[in-house]
Amino acid sequence: MTNILAPGAVERHLRARRDTGRGLLMPYVTGGIAPGWTRYLAAFAEAGADAIEVGLPFSDPTLDGVTIQQASEMALARGAGTRQILADLAEVLDLGVPLVASTYYNLVLHDGPEAFCAALRRAGVSGLIVPDLPVHEADELTGVAAAAGVDLALLASPATPRQRLAEISRRSRGFVYAVSLMGTTGERAALAASAAELTARIRRATDRPVLLGFGISTPDQAREAGRHADGVVVGAAVMRRVLDGAGPDDLRAFLATLRRALDQECDAPR
């Protein structure tokens, strides 16, 4: 089994699972959203998640749609902050899958990149997503994260030019986060048409795992995304259920439907 806390663990873990033909599943939860919120993490792992994204709530989440904005506001109203969320994570038993924190660069700068990445590692987090950090400004955090053993995953969108896409693909660690459309996070009725072209462009630039996010809400969408990307990120669909009162068992059942859809796509004849 991959040591999920070793440097470069996210990428090794995802590559190993992908290379068996498995479609990758990374669900998201906003840290501190409810009392006992870390129980969701165990439910995610039991449902077949390959990595888990934990959002560190921020007061101005510019790339997030209404659902995750509401989740962030609720967590902040409960007094959830970065230190408390990481303290909660530090008490979580080994889930067998890596944890990937996501937040905005303002929170990274608040304590400084070195202290921030060191705190992630102490909490058992081995990956990081900073959606508002462009690749041409990522030098400092890229180096600091690598030195701390944290895989910093970069984002690419349908509007990313060819040369920048190549740089993102080269410098990203863990995986490349493919943003399926130009817009914010949120549930949508169908997978964006731009998703297939974007993932194909990334795959021509790198063998690193490609996870597709923004708008993946149903088993059918997960199955379709699995035809193009190595896996999916599912955030708003999870958090809407949490906001509606879903508990860990409810989310385990929902994610199990996505797990089955990805497995069915991987097993389908080509």
| Contact yes or no for 77/243 (Cβ under 8 A) | no
Q: What is the pLDDT of residues 162-212, one digit of tens each?
A: 999 999 999 999 999 998 754 445 444 456 677 888 999 999 999 999 999
Q: Which amino acid is at 242?
A: V
Angle of CA points 257, 263, 268, to nearest 5°: 125
Mean pLDDT of the chain: 90
Active site residue 53: yes
Decide if 91 is catalytic. Answer: no
User: Do the beta carbons of residue 115 and residue 145 sit within 8 Å?
Assistant: no
Q: Are 219 and 260 in contact (CB under 8 A)?
A: yes
CB 72 within 8 A of CB 85: no
- The per-residue pLDDT for range 1-52, each reduced to its tens digit, is 344 556 578 999 999 999 999 999 999 999 999 999 999 999 999 999 999 9
Instruction: Name the catalytic one among 53, 88, 187, 230.
Output: 53
- Which helix or strand (DSSP H or E) is residue 53 part of? strand 52-55
Max alpha carbon distance in the chain (Å)? 50
Q: Could you tell me the end-to-end alpha-carbon distance of the chain, in angstroms, rounded to an integer?
A: 29
> The pTM is what?
0.93
Query: Among the listed ranges 21-30, 92-101, 213-222, 231-240, which one has the minimum average pLDDT value?
Result: 213-222
Taking alpha carbons only, the member of 22, 51, 6, 261 closest to residue 41 is 51
Listed by start position, the domains of the chain span 23-263
- What is 209-261 written as a DSSP string? -EEEESS--SHHHHHHHHTTSSEEEE-HHHHHHHHTT--HHHHHHHHHHHHHH
Query: Over the range 112-133, which residues count as b (16 or more CB within 10 Å of their CB) and which as e?
Result: ebeebbbbbbebbbbbbbbbeb
Please report the pLDDT score of residue 184 as a whole number: 45
- Per-residue pLDDT, averaged over 227-252, amounts to 96
In this structure, how many other beta carbons lie within 10 angstroms of the beta carbon of residue 93? 9
Q: Which residue has the tokens 């870390």?
A: 38
Indicate the CATH number of 23-263 among 3.20.20.70, 3.40.50.12280, 2.60.120.310, 3.40.1790.10. 3.20.20.70
Q: How many CB atoms lie within 10 A of CB 14?
A: 28
